[in-house]
Amino acid sequence: MNDLADFFDLYQQGFARVAVAVPHCRVADPAFNAEQSVALLQQAAQQGAAVLLFPELGLSAYTCDDLFHQRALLDCCEAALQRLLQASAELSTVAVVGLPLRVDHSLFNCAVVLQRGRLLGVVPKTYLPNYGEFYEARQFNPADHAQSTQITLLGQAVPFGADLLFDAQDLPNLCLHAEICEDLWVPIPPSSYAALAGATLLLNLSASNITVGKSAYRHALAQSQSARCLAAYAYSSAGQGESTTDLAWDGQALICENGQVLAESPRFADGSQLLYADVDLERLARERLRQTSFGQSAGRHAERLARFRRVPFTLGMAQRHALHRSIERYPYVPADAARRDERCQEVYQIQVQGLTQRLAASGIGKLVIGISGGLDSTHALLVCARAMDRLGLPRTNILGVTMPGFATSTRTLDQAWRLMRAIGCDARQIDIRPSCEQMLRDIGHPYADGQPQYDITFENVQAGERTSHLFRLANFNDALVVGTGDLSELALGWCTYGVGDHMSHYNVNASVPKTLIKHLVRWVAERGEAGGQALVADPQVLLDILSTEISPELVPGDAAGQPGQSTESQIGPYDLHDFFLYYTLRFGLTPRKVAFLAHAAWHDAAAGAWPEGAHVSRQKYDLATIKRHLRSFVWRFFKTSQFKRSCVPNAPKVGSGGSLSPRGDWRAPSDGEAAVWMADLERIPGP
């Protein structure tokens, strides 16, 4: 499948478009309410919605009170349902609408699921609130009081009960379950069992009047239920038109996915509203596969789960609309400024706690760290300084060493010294060129005979000499060597085996990606602190380091002082590689799906979600460029780099995005093959 249209089909990429409607209603006017609902259904179908959720008792209005016992109203509600059913005849969208229904001489508050002129099922409300402003038990019966499991409605035989799951036959992983308002408020909502039984999209038809603080509570309920159930949760509530005799209504609608709010409607809006979001079903299925306790929980409730009945349906349409979902370009860096500040603070706390515990456990009070004047060692030194502050030890217990080699630039050497002075550590400089020249002579390298052969051996001799000096300095000073290599470098294998960016006594950066390190350093530069106390005397040096091109500086540059190497020109932009890494490591997505998401985030300057107020590149990447860099990432990650990751030193795991420790998130064979990922990569259209 190498067709561009197929590549951008949302269904083929594992997405389902979900819509939530908040119609303008009239109390006890089903005909009016039906027309409002029909208009929203048609609009949702035009926008490619697979599922459309309406509020609780939306065809009658929620605030009918004892009017619910009037036959005229109940008959008109069924007529309104008939109108909606007829309107759905040519539409693929599955609509879930609320109304009162008479079954077995009792009245039930119901969700009716319909599509293409067919009633797929009727789900009665399980828990009826009868406290505070609610008196539902006065009019309705709970689901478990029903005698029938199938009813005749509008001339169709329809499954009836709270045990119904609705399975899409042509969209893998789309399985629906409906519950109604209070069902979510109880300790074990019906949707919890439904999720264990296979439901991935949980639907709540709610009315839910508004009081102060209730909106935040709805958020908490919907988000936490979607997180616990590893599911999407769509929530509706009643809006304009409900009776305000004693209550008010804000029309809040939410679509959540695994704890994240994908979309939310404005509250207290005039007229009808329609909310959309594209739910990633594949991602949810992957999470359930990864989180083995989900399957264990299902196993413990197997007898109850076996009672669920499945109702099949077919969507029968392609979905080639643009992705309606915000994809952050920097998944490790929150786009929201307040969340980013909180993230930076917490990352520092985790790294510092890990390092202080290691020092306390070892009985060692000194650290040795190599300072290059570049990004990673800068961040690691900031962590070391804060650790010493927390332990009540002088920063002079940190031995910072800058070790210029054959290609060290004046700029980075100056930055290394400025940084060490600004931190207040014990600062030293060791020229490694004499020892490197001796090593090159010992191994018979042409450089020793005056031939400028700048090969990998030439580079690694310098890296190795620096590492040897650090470890011997640590021996001599009874100290620990702090590693500086980051998560991005480990993912790409962009580190020399057994040397400083790979090996140390303890590595504080090993699970922090390059894009996040940039923001961590800038966060300290702009605030001058991390944890409430000044970290650097001269924050400007941090800004200068951030503006320095990333380079290993192992090959001499030109006469103008420009570096002879640019890391990103060799391996590709870290902005993209960190994006690839997040979705590969955290969710196990295929290269094809990763490319689809990367294109959604990076294909133009207006797409995706930029970190608010952050200093980031406004670069954009087309699909061909994304595929080219993704090919490099896949080959490096799956084929050439695991042997380096299999023996990395101890390091604290920082984020839920994962680490590459062989003792933690990532266990893989060092001699594995990349064939299946490379084959999937070729399914991406283009060269």
Task: Give 337-681's CATH code, choosing from 3.40.50.12280, 3.40.50.10480, 3.40.50.620, 3.30.750.24.
Answer: 3.40.50.620
> What pLDDT sits at residue 535?
87
Catalytic residue flag (residue 56): yes
Three-state SS at 444: coil
Residues 10 and 278 sit within 8 Å (Cβ to Cβ): yes
pTM for the full predicted model: 0.94
For residue 92, is pLDDT > 50? yes
| Beta sheet of 480-483, edge-to-edge order | 426-429, 398-402, 367-370, 480-483, 506-507
All residues at 6 or more sequence positions from 413 whose CB lies less than 8 Å from its CB, including other chains: 373, 402, 404
Residue 531 has pLDDT above 70, yes or no: no
Mean local confidence (pLDDT), 618-644? 96
264 is catalytic: no
Give the DSSP per-residue string, 159-227.
EBSTTEEEEESSSTT-EEEEEEGGGGTSSS-HHHHHHHTT--EEEEE------TTHHHHHHHHHHHHHH
Give the model confidence (pLDDT) of 7-53 as tens digits. 999 999 999 999 999 999 999 999 999 999 999 999 999 999 999 99
Q: Does the pLDDT at position 528 exceed 80?
A: no
Q: Which of 77, 175, 181, 425 does the annotation list as catalytic?
A: 181
Handedness of CA 57, 63, 65, 67 (dihedral sign): negative
What's the rounded mean pLDDT across residues 404-410?
95
- When pLDDT is averaged across residues 212-218 and rounded to a whole number, the result is 94
Given a cut of 80, is residue 606 above it in pLDDT? no
Point out which residues pair with 275 in neighbouring strands.
20
Higher confidence at residue 606 or residue 514? 514
pLDDT of 2 strictly over 60:
no
In the predicted model, what is the mean pLDDT of residues 82-107?
Answer: 97
Q: Active-site residue among 110, 125, 328, 384?
A: 125
Catalytic residue among 56, 264, 328, 553: 56
pLDDT in tens, 252-286: 999 999 999 999 999 999 999 999 999 999 999 99
Does pLDDT of 658 surpass 90? no
Query: Is the confidence at residue 4, as pLDDT, over 90?
Result: no
Architecture of domain 16-313: 4-Layer Sandwich (3.60)
Beta strands in 317-449 (DSSP E): 367-370, 398-402, 426-429
CA angle 20, 274, 320 (to 5 degrees): 85
Q: How confident is the model at residue 324 (pLDDT cuts 50, 70, 90)?
A: very high
pLDDT of 561 = 66
pLDDT digits (tens, 9 = 90+) for 168-196: 999 999 999 999 999 999 999 999 999 99
Provide the pLDDT for residue 672: 95
337 vs 361: CA distance, rounded Å: 36
User: Residue ranges per domain, the chain?
Assistant: 16-313, 337-681
Are the beta carbons of 423 and 536 closer than 8 angstroms? yes
CB 241 within 8 A of CB 24: yes
Can you read off the two tokens belonging to residue 399? Answer: 């031995």
Give residue 533's pLDDT: 61
d(CA 223, CA 80): 32
Mean of the per-residue pLDDT values of the chain: 94
Q: How confident is the model at residue 564 (pLDDT cuts 50, 70, 90)?
A: confident
* Amino acid 1: pLDDT: 43
**181 counts as catalytic:** yes
- With a pLDDT cut of 70, the percent of the chain lying above it is 98
Report the pLDDT value the prediction gives residue 560, as an integer from 0 to 100: 67
Predicted confidence at residue 319, as pLDDT, reads 81
